[in-house]
Amino acid sequence: MSDNVASVGGGDQSHPMDFLLAEELNLPKIGETRQGWVIENRANAILIDIGAKSEGVISGSELQNMDDETRELLAEGNEVTVYIVNTEDQHGNVVVSYAKAAEELDWNKAEDLLASQDVYKGRVIGQNKGGLLVKLGQLRGFVPNSQVSRRSNFDDKNKSSNFIQTKVIEVDRKRGRLILSERAAEKEARQAKRAEILSKLEEGAVLKGRVINLADFGAFIDVGGVEGLVHLSELSWKRVNAPADILEVGDEVEVYILNIDQDRERLALSLKRLEPDPWTIIDEYYQVGQLLEASITKLTKYGAFARLDDDYALEGLIHISELSENHVNHPRDVVQPQQTVTVRIIRVDKDQRQLGLSIKQVVSDKFVEADLEKLTTIQD
């Protein structure tokens, strides 16, 4: 029976109970990481107390590639983590590696950063045509040009200025691949700043801003680091065909906060709310009896809505009874949407913000005298 047991393991002659002895003596195992204390720092080797019957040795070859910053971490008395490279070399020493242990811990940290998407501040240690090299502990992370928000001015002599904010976007330990992104980190920073600024704003407030972009549907305004939109309809009380008619990129403007959507982080702004509302000064511009061009905008069973063809482009109602001298069954029998017509203002109600218009009374004995007086004034 004992022969059969001894043969298990393909020639391994160790006793089945050897592992108990190993545990009792706290024997190290290859690939294991251990906590230890630096007990002696020599020129060509560093001795580490790893709690075994013999000390661990960091060999001279590793020390040759070690920078000053890491050597300081290995001062006598310091607690360090080491990786067991060999349980016994030709001299009977346990060979350990600080770099491999640190590398293992750094890979763990990189994986944690990938999972959490926390921002990591790393030092740029080099650059090439493809991007930047950033140190993450003992690892070298790579920031491709596509993930660099601005080309950093790498200066090996001024290391304190070579730190950038990054996020880990790929970790492949087997291939030794660690990819970082500065763009992702800065995007999060901008979003955090945007949320903070939005939380301090109030609807109805007036802010100074700068025009940063123009689109067909409105203008984008930067107000202290947050972009807001002034919709085309909020640019002016007067008619504006396109934002470029009244604004240019770079213009400094004052804007009124219409709405703050904290959840969607959107800011609706207005320029026209800082101008006089034409309905409050309508008597200066419109009077009963005035003739104007207008465009039909909407038809209903009781009439047609028309927008005046002037600076303010206010909308009024042409009641079905004011469309024609003849009986009208439906407004579409007389006018169509987008049709241009001549109308006369027959009612101005600034309290109700309503204009009454008429096509029927464009030619009317009631207004002949006033029309002749205006015609005479124009001719003179």
Asked whether residue 298 carries a pLDDT value surpassing 90, the answer given is: yes
Location of structure tokens 């040795």: 57
Average pLDDT rounded to a whole number, residues 340-344? 95
What does the pLDDT read at residue 293?
A: 94
The percentage of the chain sitting over the pLDDT mark of 70, rounded to a whole number, equals 86
* Weakest mean pLDDT among 79-88, 154-163, 199-208, 318-327: 154-163
pLDDT reported for residue 243 = 95
CA distance 270 to 259: 10
Residue 377 pLDDT greater than 60, yes or no: no
How high is the pLDDT of residue 239? 80
- Residue type (1 letter), 343: V
Q: DSSP secondary-structure letter at 290? A: -
- Whether the predicted pLDDT of 157 surpasses 60: no
Q: What is the pTM of this model?
A: 0.51
Look-up of token digits 């906590």: 35
The pLDDT value recorded for residue 14 is 55
Give yes or no for residue 309 having a pLDDT over 70. yes
Average pLDDT over residues 289-311: 93
Over 80: is that where the pLDDT of 25 sits? Answer: no
* 231-245 pLDDT per residue, tens: 999 999 888 889 999
Distance CA 369, CA 141 (A): 87
Strands (E), 28-86: 33-41, 46-49, 56-58, 79-86
Residue 299 has pLDDT above 80, yes or no: yes
* pLDDT above 70: residue 58: yes
Average pLDDT estimate for 52-65: 85
| Confidence band for 16, pLDDT divided at 50, 70 and 90 | low
Mean pLDDT, all residues of the chain: 85
| Domains defined for the chain, CATH in brackets | 15-102 (2.40.50.140), 117-184 (2.40.50.140), 201-274 (2.40.50.140), 282-379 (2.40.50.140)
With a cut of 80, say whether residue 48 has pLDDT above it.
yes
Buried b (16+ CB within 10 A) or exposed e, 39-77: eebeeeebbbbbebeebbbbbeebbeeeeeeeeeebeee
CA distance readout (Å), 138 to 77, 110, 122:
22, 11, 12
Contacts of 105 (CB under 8 A, 6+ apart): 33, 81, 137
Which pLDDT tens digit goes with each residue over 61-112?
Answer: 888 888 888 888 888 999 999 999 998 888 788 999 998 898 889 999 999 9
Most confident among 17-21, 155-159, 264-268 (mean pLDDT): 264-268
pLDDT band at residue 338 under the 50/70/90 scheme: very high
Closest by CA position to 361, among listed 348, 344, 347, 339: 344
- The pLDDT tens digits for 168-192 are 999 999 899 999 999 999 888 887 8
Rg over CA atoms, the chain: 40
